[in-house]
Amino acid sequence: MTEPVRYTVIPEQPEAHCYRVSCTVADPDPSGQELALPAWIPGSYMIREFARHVVSIRAESRGRPVAIEKADKHTWRAQPCVGPLTVTCEVYARDLSVRGAYLDPRQGLFNGACLFLRPKGHEASACELEIRRPKGARYRDWAVATAMDRAGAKHRGFGAYRAADYDELIDHPVAMGELTFAAFRACGVPHEIAISGRHRADTARLARDLKRLCEHHIRFFGEPAPMKRYLFLVTALGEGYGGLEHRASTALLCSRDDLPLRGEAAVGERYRTFLGLASHEYFHTWNVKRIKPAAFSPYDLDREAYTGLLWAFEGITSYYDDLALLRCGLIGRRDYLELLGRGVTSYLRAPGRSKQTLAEASFDAWIKYYRPDENSPNATVSYYGKGSLVALCLDLTIREKTRGRKSLDDVMRALWKRHGLTGVGVEEDGVERLAEEITGLKLQSAFDQWLRATRELPLKRLLAAHGVEMILRPAESSSDRGGKPAASKRPGGLAKLGVVARIDADQTVLAQVLDGGTAREAGLAAGDAIVAVDGLRPGRGGLDAALAKRRAGETVRLHAFRRDELLEFDVQLKAAPADSCVLSELSGAGARPLERWLGISRG
């Protein structure tokens, strides 16, 4: 039995965003102990080089300094020493995201990947962690929220915690501050919600709704739940959106207006977005935290871990996140079909879907999805967006071909039994093979087309077979996200340039110029600042307002600055393409398959 590795976290200078973190190894490597910080954090597939936030580092043994030097960008090597080695570093923390570390006099939030050195060769050792309260009267009411096991700390308190190994240590994010708590049980498992940031949320309602959602997910995979407790760590901001999954918790970032207010009963669009995010991260408790690609078993935190399977781990999770809201009764069918219609719309609007396959999008997440630029819509496809539509196609295909006897739900439960409960990683072709085995269907050519080719997906036909009509119409404005019928009866919709524009310091700047659009053909480029449309400066309404009365076929003269040079373009407007998807229930014929699929009876 090796000695545990001991960590201490001191929020030492909140106003300077600084944590002091130490790591003590009782039996360091006699040839010189190496310690490293992860290059990335599981769940967010980008090299982040957390070591860049280490401001200073020193080592000591029994009160005497030990020399320590950098071995590579994220590894340090201490000189050999006899007896315990303690390495202490000062870490700058001003990334208030679900993937980073943050500290100020109002709140702290950290992921272990940002703070905890990994002593090489001791990865499997148990970890003990002491989290100290910042010094000063203003921190008297601070509490701690984490799903890590307590080892002496009081519930929600500072003090001692423990983890079975390094992998677990960095899989429990920690929040501290004057937090709002709410608690509930789902299928007997204690769940907590901890909110930091100013808000006026109805926490009782939040607890009630999340309980319903969590029980649905637990029963979907089958009781008992795989975690002994669960924590929703919510950071409420003015504007924000993001989530990261962990084995027994999730860190969520949301706008405070996304949280339900006291006295409100309906699920509005913003609260629906929050519930969808919570549902997504909670589903990951099974799908990616326990059912994992073999490429993540174990995680190699020094470098990229490539897999073509993110379509299954992110795409299937994205398919079930909103579907679960419907199946557990938090939203209705019309809401669900609106969300699905929006998903199809954003997929259809990215020309990159004809360039990059889903398997490529997954493999290249590290350099493409997580590092988007102005050409991303032309060159890439989202493994979330297309992945969820492939999950839909797979589900509906299985339901159709087995006459409703099997579905993607059965495949997910089989993945859980075979890989989640056993800890055996999923090989690159593992999801495809298991789907064939469980359903008895030949699915290989469908997978080839959906995952390894760029052919359009058979959405319309499959939806029709399940009682849903899919209609495509032109966008009515640049804020039209699809999902709903056209608001105006004007035929043809608006004339389109094929750009995504933003208003930047009162200027209309082209953020993206889409392949196949009229702006691209006329020679406009991303970054061009449009200063005049037919001699007039666009007003606050931007290009939408400037082009509102124009018809397809008309030519407009645009003046634009590219860097400091004024350029002139004659652009012939085209009718907006029919790329906004509206889904609605067909009456009659498809009622039974629709009910089986959506999991509720027609109401």
Residues of this chain that bind Zn ion (CB under 5 A) = 314
Smallest distance from Zn ion to CB 252, Å = 12
Indicate the residue whose CB is closest to Zn ion: 314
Smallest distance from Zn ion to CB 232, Å = 15
**Looking at beta carbons only, is 22 or 307 nearer to Zn ion?**
307
Give the contacts of 554 (CB within 8 A, at least 6 positions apart): 495, 572, 573
**Looking at beta carbons only, is 287 or 439 nearer to Zn ion?**
287
**Looking at beta carbons only, is 288 or 509 nearer to Zn ion?**
288
**Looking at beta carbons only, is 283 or 597 nearer to Zn ion?**
283
H helix or E strand, kind and range, residue 396: helix 385-401
Beta strands in 148-301 (DSSP E): 149-150, 159-163, 174-177, 180-186, 189-196, 230-237, 241-245, 249-255
Q: Are the C-beta atoms of 488 and 478 separated by less than 8 Å? A: no
Biggest distance spanned by C-alpha atoms of the chain: 82
Q: Which two tokens stand for residue 526?
A: 């991303």
Smallest distance from Zn ion to CB 99, Å = 12
**Rounded Cα distance, 249 and 357, in Å:** 32
Smallest distance from Zn ion to CB 483, Å = 21
**Looking at beta carbons only, is 314 or 338 nearer to Zn ion?**
314
**Looking at beta carbons only, is 60 or 321 nearer to Zn ion?**
321
Q: Which two tokens stand for residue 63?
A: 């009160």
**Looking at beta carbons only, is 90 or 321 nearer to Zn ion?**
321
**Looking at beta carbons only, is 176 or 358 nearer to Zn ion?**
358
CA angle, corner 196, sides to 195 and 199, nearest 5?
80
Smallest distance from Zn ion to CB 284, Å = 6
Smallest distance from Zn ion to CB 314, Å = 5
Smallest distance from Zn ion to CB 329, Å = 23
**Looking at beta carbons only, is 280 or 406 nearer to Zn ion?**
280
Strand order, beta sheet including 180-186: 180-186, 189-196, 230-237, 249-255, 241-245
Smallest distance from Zn ion to CB 287, Å = 9
Beta strands in 147-294 (DSSP E): 149-150, 159-163, 174-177, 180-186, 189-196, 230-237, 241-245, 249-255
CA-wise closest residue to 430 among 418, 448, 440, 421: 418
Give the contacts of 153 (CB within 8 A, at least 6 positions apart): 131, 144, 159, 160, 161
Smallest distance from Zn ion to CB 318, Å = 7
8-state DSSP, 95: -
- Backbone conformation region of residue 519, classed left if phi is above 0, alpha if psi is from -120 to 50, else beta: alpha
CA-wise closest residue to 381 among 291, 484, 435, 456: 456
To which residue do tokens 């969590």 refer?
214
Angle subtended by helix axes 203-221 and 408-415, to nearest 10? 80
**Looking at beta carbons only, is 336 or 384 nearer to Zn ion?**
384
Number of alpha carbons in the 13 Å side-chain half-sphere of residue 435? 24
Smallest distance from Zn ion to CB 168, Å = 20
